[in-house]
Amino acid sequence: LFYCFGLVSLCLVACSDPGIVKAAGAGGLDDGVGVERNGYAGVSTTENNITARAGWRYCDLCSVYQPPSAVHCPECNVCIEGYDHHCPWMGQCIGKKNFTSFMMFNCSWLFYLLYAIIWVTFLGQAGKKYQPHGNPTELGG
């Protein structure tokens, strides 16, 4: 049960989009007033108004405007919204869109670790109490 849950959550994290900030021209819809609706959440794309929005900044490496919670990941070379960290074991950034799956994966192995500790500590000790042949020193041999 732990193995299946851990494997599913691992696949969800490793194969899902962490929240990559996409460029304005990548399929965005212009509403005619110079506002892109593809990840910029109503931020005006004109140069004068983009800096007026609090917290938005331009990433020179990705050539995109980052929302306030986005950070450029040097490992993946993309900007990630809600960036938490780059996980070397997953080979993926952990961001806004895959954070829940990442926490599910962490909980699955922590619960397995807790299960293993309880098994070894308490249930493993119950098996040691029953010794059908006894101690050789007690039998006079």
**Residues labelled as active-site residues:** 87
Q: Is 81 within 8 Å of 87 (Cβ atoms)? A: no
Q: How many CB atoms lie within 10 A of CB 40?
A: 22
The residue among 58, 46, 70, 55 whose CA lies nearest residue 36 is: 46
H or E stretch including 80?
strand 78-80
How far is the C-alpha of 60 from the C-alpha of 55, rounded, in Å?
16
Q: Are 90 and 14 spatial neighbours (Cβ–Cβ below 8 Å)? A: yes
